[in-house]
Amino acid sequence: MRSYKRYTRRKRLLKQIAVVALVFILGFVLLRAVSYMAIQGEIPMINSFNLFRREADTSFGWNLILVNDDYCVPRNYEVELTELSNGEKVDSRIYPQLQQMFDDARAEGLELFVREGYRTTQDQKDIMNERIQQYQDEGYSRGEAKKLAKEYVAEPGTSEHELGIAVDINADTSKCSSDAVYTWLANNAYKYGFIKRYPDNKIEITGVNNEPWHYRYVGVDAALEMQKKGLCLEEYIETLK
Ligand SMILES: [Zn+2]
């Protein structure tokens, strides 16, 4: 009799656990769907939610914030901007080093400029939507277009450009080649505290294809160590933990 009672009690408990687990799973799926739609801008009132992405850790300092597909820009992240002569903006704290780097590159006969600096999350969303539209115009379904766009464009909230400490640097190709600029940057940017954020040999870690134009400020000490040891930012941050 007692063992039968225990048996039914256990059965009831199992049933309760199953119900709770089911509710959790359903809730998770629902929230994930809402979050996805929000990121895609399909729910405008909550359009900057990254519900299942952790916020980037700011404890190593503003210059070592790691933002990628796993960690989004902290909510309400504030940045003081300096406008460059071509209208692009960057975090004021990186401006002196950026200017020095450009002056020194120009002294060696290179012509380069910041193609893209700071972006708001809305800018990032617009870029994503434009790219999706391009693929749809090419005949892809909306779902396929979104998937393709995400291979090339960081999801809103996860681009380093939203921090203001990343810049896309291009050559003025009427005066010098892109290769000349990219090579100079790869060999010298670390001296000014900038790293090539998405190198060819770290694609598996960064999840981003080789971008020889995208430079990210981390500070001179960190850049020097990363250059010496051949580490990408994800790897370097691990060494700090
Ligand atoms: Zn970039």
pLDDT of amino acid 44: 41
Closest CA to 65 of 143, 186, 161, 147: 161
CA of 206 to the centre of ligand 1 (A): 13
pLDDT of amino acid 6: 67
CA of 166 to the centre of ligand 1 (A): 7
State whether CATH 3.40.50.150 applies to domain 55-119+159-240. no
pLDDT of amino acid 84: 97
pLDDT tens sequence across 89-124? 999 999 999 999 999 999 999 999 999 999 999 999
Task: Tokens for 219, please give them.
Answer: 């500070």
φ, ψ (nearest 5 deg) of residue 33: -65, -45
Mean per-residue pLDDT, 216-221: 98
CA of 214 to the centre of ligand 1 (A): 4
Residue 107 CB-density burial (10 A; 0-12 exposed, 13-18 middle, 19+ buried) = exposed
CA of 152 to the centre of ligand 1 (A): 11
Q: Which of 211, 225, 234, 235 is catalytic?
A: 211
Q: Using pLDDT thresholds of 50, 70 and 90, give the confidence band for residue 34.
A: low
β-pairing, 166-171 vs 81-83, is unpaired
* Cα–Cα distance measured from residue 241 to residue 231, given in angstroms and rounded to the nearest whole number: 15
Closest CA to 102 of 155, 38, 172: 172
Residue 201 CB-density burial (10 A; 0-12 exposed, 13-18 middle, 19+ buried) = exposed
CA of 117 to the centre of ligand 1 (A): 8
* Cα–Cα distance measured from residue 10 to residue 7, given in angstroms and rounded to the nearest whole number: 5
Q: Using pLDDT thresholds of 50, 70 and 90, give the confidence band for residue 29.
A: low
Q: Show the DSSP H helices in the chain as ranges.
A: 2-39, 95-107, 121-137, 142-152, 178-188, 203-206, 220-229, 233-240
The domain spans of the chain are: 1-52, 55-119+159-240
Residue 2 pLDDT > 60: no
Percent of the chain exceeding pLDDT 70 equals 88
Q: Using pLDDT thresholds of 50, 70 and 90, give the confidence band for residue 12.
A: confident
CA of 85 to the centre of ligand 1 (A): 19
111 included as an active-site residue = no
pLDDT tens sequence across 153-175? 999 999 999 999 999 999 999 99
* Cα–Cα distance measured from residue 164 to residue 91, given in angstroms and rounded to the nearest whole number: 5
* Cα–Cα distance measured from residue 18 to residue 24, given in angstroms and rounded to the nearest whole number: 10
Q: What is the DSSP letter of 138?
A: T
In this structure, which residues have their CB less than 5 angstroms from ion ligand 1?
A: 168, 214
Residue 142 pLDDT > 60: yes
* Cα–Cα distance measured from residue 206 to residue 71, given in angstroms and rounded to the nearest whole number: 12
pLDDT of amino acid 126: 96
Give the torsion sign (CA, 209, 210, 216, 221).
positive
More confident residue, 110 or 15: 110
171 by DSSP, 3-state: which?
Answer: strand
